Amino acid sequence: MDGSKINGQQVTEAELLAADYRKYQGEDVDIYYNKNICAHIGNCVRGNPAVFEVGRRPWILADNASADDVVKVINTCPSGALKYIRKDEQ
Ligand code: SF4
């Protein structure tokens, strides 16, 4: 799943926040997470435990990996609970 899109459209921050996603800000990429959609499959924590760590507050630290790595892991999220907006390619 392409974590930068919803229904094939490039997603905006306003849309994500309106849809109840919470923002985890990073330098090059912002991560958005919606706990109501999360299926607790764990691809994120297995994919990069430095960025996604369930026992930590905040549990997402966007700057603990390169933006490319963040995007790769988010695209493995099967539910759409994780989205991203890159800030380094605009
Ligand atoms: S990969 Fe997506 S669905 Fe799975 S635990 Fe992480 S956020 Fe939830």
Q: Is the CB of 81 under 6 A from ligand 1?
A: yes
Q: Using the CB atoms, write b or e for 64-78: b if 16+ within 10 Å.
A: ebebeebbebbeebe
Mean pLDDT of 3-26: 97
Tokens of 13: 């921050």
Peptide bond connecting 58 to the previous residue in cis, omega within 30 degrees of 0: yes
Neighbours of 22 (CB within 10 A): 13
Q: Is the CB of 41 under 6 A from ligand 1?
A: yes
CA distance 49 to 78: 17
pTM (predicted TM-score)? 0.96
Whether residue 83 is predicted with pLDDT greater than 90 in this model: the reply is: yes
Q: How far away, in angstroms, is 34 Cα from ligand 1 center? A: 9
For residue 40, give the ligand 1 atom closest to its CA.
5
Q: What is the pLDDT of residues 26-80, one digit of tens each?
A: 999 999 999 999 999 999 999 999 999 999 999 999 999 999 999 999 999 999 9
